[in-house]
Structure 1
Amino acid sequence: MSDPIRHLTEAGHLGSFFIDGGWRKPDGAERAAIINPATEEVVAEIPLGNGGDVERAVAAARRAFPGWARTRPEERAALLARIHALILERQELFAQAMTCEMGAAITSARQAQVPLAAEHIRVARDNLTNFPFIAQRGATAILKEPIGVCALITPWNWPLYQITAKVSPALAAGCTVVLKPSELSPLNALLFAEIMDEAGCPPGVFNLVQGTGPVVGEALAAHVEVDMVSMTGSTRAGVLVARAAAPTVKRVAQELGGKSPNVVLP
């Protein structure tokens, strides 16, 4: 099946979040429309998360962190290899999702969006096999440890690519994650959560909460149990994330754009 709306609807995942290893109903009742840019038609609706959903997801990630951080690099690399294989197996489903939800030309989705996203997984897996977690400098041993729970906030325009660019290295390092994709292009994130589940990702290591930046994004950035925020988006949103994160002195990594639009005429 290459119809992402039908696939997610039949699986029962279109109206759910992925938290603590299972598909959970949202805490609130607010919803957002998914609009196909080519037709301007509403093709589906998704629930929008709130503070309660964030609390459950962060708590799950915090519980899972000690065990995941202790896994051997070979175990984490094996999980990444399974994720990589599943993305390649479902390339057409991901490509159709991105065409439907954010207007990517199908050739671009097939030839660039999905393959480049898969490469992030492969590179993280390959780097993990020989990464020097312990390095000797003179008489000093330097140990590199996972930072903890990471909140990952991704944009609408390269959705799967940005997800894998953030999730892959976080998991490889031994971190647990809570992903908040753009509410404008949520389908690929749901498909990615399915893959994480089928690949055997331990409960709580990967969590997905859909929602808006001012609600879910800021709640994640401000949360005392989140150790790092990685955010790609507009400068306006980046300022809000940095302000929300400042009181807890967590690490914040940002890629801020929101520039250079293209006007496509008939």
Structure 2
Amino acid sequence: MTNLQTGKFYIDGKWVDPAGTETLEVINPATEEAFATIAMGNRQDVEHAVAAAKTAFETFSQTTKAERIELLEGILAAYERRYDEMSAIICEELGAPISLCDAAQSMVGVGHLKGFLDALRNMEFREEMPSGDTIYREPIGVCGMITPWNWPINQIALKVLPAFAAGCTVVLKPSEITPLNALLYAEILDEAGVPKGVFNLVNGDGLNVGSAISRHPDVAMVSFTGSTRAGRQVSIDAAETIKRVTLELGGKSPNIVFADTDLADAVTGGVRHCFQNSGQSCNAPTRMLVEASIYDEAMDIAREAAENTLVGSPTDQGKHIGPLVSAIQYERVQELIQAGIDEGATLLAGGTGRPEGSNRGYFVKPTVFGNVNNQMRIAREEVFGPVLAMIPFKDEAEAVEIANDTPYGLAAQIQSGDTERAEAVARKLRAGMVHINGSDIDFGSPFGGYKMSGNGREGGKFGIEDFLEIKAVSRP
């Protein structure tokens, strides 16, 4: 592992000692062994970081678009130099297979950055209205950011980079479960010449650091990604000072499979997508809705796809899945698999316990349930593990009804040989992103959802706009 400043925080352009003495071990989820210890912050550390960000905002907010483009280009170059280190760290602390880290977990740090650069180059921060009034788009201020463990650099990049592009300064609290990639990212930003105080990092938990950020009167905006429960608490904490809050929360995304699709490709691809990152993705298509006429065949295909899904060491190259991130996550997924069994769903593959041959690590059997109805816990709750629920539907109207019958609205998928029909159905789905026939949105397109999946959008120009205030100036 890279020799990181695990006992310090990055504040005002330098590595500083924490105010307190609390520490936390970082656990390798494949071995269940601690391999690093980080300092844990408190309210005093947050005060220090916010003060630095507030001072830096006075000058950074006045930088030109050209200067901020140059800064992002420097970050891109620095990130690419340390790309392999980033992959290795995420592999060890998250348990994501190294092949996935190289191809996706680390790669998004490049892709999103390029998406923001493209957007920034084309953005105008001053606009003349037909009435003669002038509209200015200005940075909102000091931004607090609280990021999750499941796609750690993805979410850090989606928050920190648009804030920089807008001219904002940042206080980041990464997940204490996967904190090391954020420490490396702080080194990358330092190497890239980010001015002192523009980026600040304090490790800690939600109670002592996250809440202090959300409540701080000098923090103008909080951007949070994580569970709906935690997002609700962030909103409550932020309400005291009426600050802007953007939330990227949970999902229970439907994958609608119509009979006119290539069934083998559609179902196998859907299973693989559900299981990617060991199912630990907020937009994972965890409810597969299948037209009744092909439902039995689809269950057979899904069973085979799950049985062919390999589970193995994160350090091995390959397309296997790794462990879940923590003991808490492992126990929750086990509970929900058992709930599926108890509620009468048909266990097609997998089940409770570790995969055969595994006696340590938070590894889970790739699991598929058939004969699920949309009122079962496995259809209502975000499992966040490699668990797929298959639900039959009789016609298009029922498919849309079931798909929308969820408190979430992050993503949805549609598999159909008729693209016009697929697009018509997409318009009826209450979701922020709809993927037709295995496609994905590109870097720069907006990521976010409806309903309890949150508010605001991340990525490209939409992501930058979340960090801007709008000012109207009139003249006599």
The Cα shift of 1:133 comes to 0.2
Answer whether contact 1:92 1:110 (CA < 8 A) is retained.
Answer: yes
Alpha-carbon distance, 1:93 to partner = 0.4
Map of 2:155 onto structure 1: 162
Which of these residues, 8, 12, 15, is aligned with residue 23 of structure 1? 15
Residue 21 of structure 2 contacts residue 40 of structure 2 at CA under 8 Å; is this kept in 1?
Answer: yes
Counterpart residue number, 1:235: 228
Higher relative contact order (CA 8 A, sep 6+): 1
**Counterpart contact for 1:88–1:115, Cα < 8 Å:** no
- Residue 93 (1) aligns with residue 85 (2): yes
| CA distances 1:191-236 after superposition (whole Å, capped 9, x unpaired) | 0000111111111000000000111000000000000000000111
Select which of 249, 254, 262 maps to 2:385.
262
Give the aligned residue type for 1:262: G
Name the counterpart of 1:150: 143
Q: Distance in 1 between matches of 2:194 and 2:110?
A: 17
- 1-structure distance, mates of 2:153, 2:215: 25
Q: Secondary structure at the match of 2:122?
A: coil
Give 2:166's aligned residue. Answer: 173
Alignment match of 1:129 (pick from 109, 112, 121):
121
Kindly state the Cα deviation for residue 262 of structure 1 after the two structures are TM-superposed. Answer: 1.9
Per the alignment, residue 211 of structure 1 pairs with 204
Larger deviation, residues 121-130 vs 79-88: 121-130
Among candidates 46, 53, 60, match of residue 38 of structure 2? 46
SS at match of 1:128: helix
Helix, strand or coil at the partner of 1:132: coil
Counterpart-to-counterpart distance in 2, 1:196 and 1:91? 13
Instruction: Structure 2: state its 5+ residue gaps.
Output: 251-281, 283-381, 388-476
Aligned to 2:67: 75
Relative to structure 2, which stretch is displaced further, 186-195 or 127-136? Answer: 127-136
SS of equivalent residue, structure 1 residue 145: strand
Does the residue aligned with 1:14 lie in a helix, a strand or coil?
coil
1:170-209 aligned at under 5 Å gives the runs: 170-209=163-202
Q: SS in structure 2 opposite 1:64? A: helix
Inter-partner Cα distance in structure 2 for 1:184 and 1:119: 24
Distance 1:112 1:221 in 2: 30
Question: Separation in 2 of the partners of 1:147 and 1:263?
Answer: 39
2: CA distance between counterparts of 1:105 and 1:97? Answer: 11
- Indicate the larger mover: 135-144 or 46-55: 135-144
> How far apart, CA to CA, are the structure 1 residues paired with 2:108 and 2:195?
25
1:35 deviation in Å?
0.2
Q: Distance in 2 between matches of 1:263 and 1:83?
A: 34
CA drift at 1:51: 0.5
Which residue type is aligned with residue 24 of structure 1? Answer: V
Q: Secondary structure at the match of 1:229?
A: strand
* SS across alignment from 1:238: helix
Moved more, 19-28 or 119-128: 119-128
**Which residue pairs with 2:24 in the alignment?**
32
Structure 1 residue corresponding to 2:52, chosen from 40, 56, 60 = 60
- Distance, in Å, in 2 between the alignment partners of 1:77 and 1:15 is 32
Counterparts of 1:100 and 1:77 in 2: how far apart (Å)? Answer: 33
1:253 aligns with 2:376: no
Contact 1:113 1:161 in 2 (8 A): yes
* Off by >3 Å, runs of 4+ in structure 1: none
Whole-Å separation in 1 of the counterparts to 2:220 and 2:71: 23
Letter in 1 for 2:220: D
Aligned-pair Cα RMSD in Å: 1.1
What TM-score, normalized to structure 2? Answer: 0.53
SS across alignment from 1:179: strand
Match of 1:152, SS? strand
For 1:36-63, what per-residue CA distance to the aligned partner results, in whole angstroms no more than 9, with x for missing partners?
A: 0011110010010000100000000000
Q: Which amino acid in 2 is paired with 1:48?
A: M
Residue among 94, 98, 110 paired with 2:102? 110
Check whether the contact 1:77–1:126 (CA below 8 A) recurs between aligned residues.
Answer: no
State which drifts further: 118-127 or 180-189: 118-127
User: Secondary structure, in 3 states, of the residue corresponding to 1:46?
Assistant: strand
- Give the number of aligned pairs: 256
Q: CA deviation at 1:260?
A: 3.1
Q: Give the aligned residue type for 1:261.
A: F
User: How many Å separate the matches in 1 of 2:107 and 2:229?
Assistant: 30
SS at match of 1:38: coil
Q: 1 or 2, which has the higher helix percentage? A: 1
Counterpart residue identity of residue 209, structure 2: V
Residues 182, 212 of structure 1: 8 Å contact kept: yes
Q: CA deviation at 1:263?
A: 4.3
* SS of residue in 1 equivalent to 2:69: helix
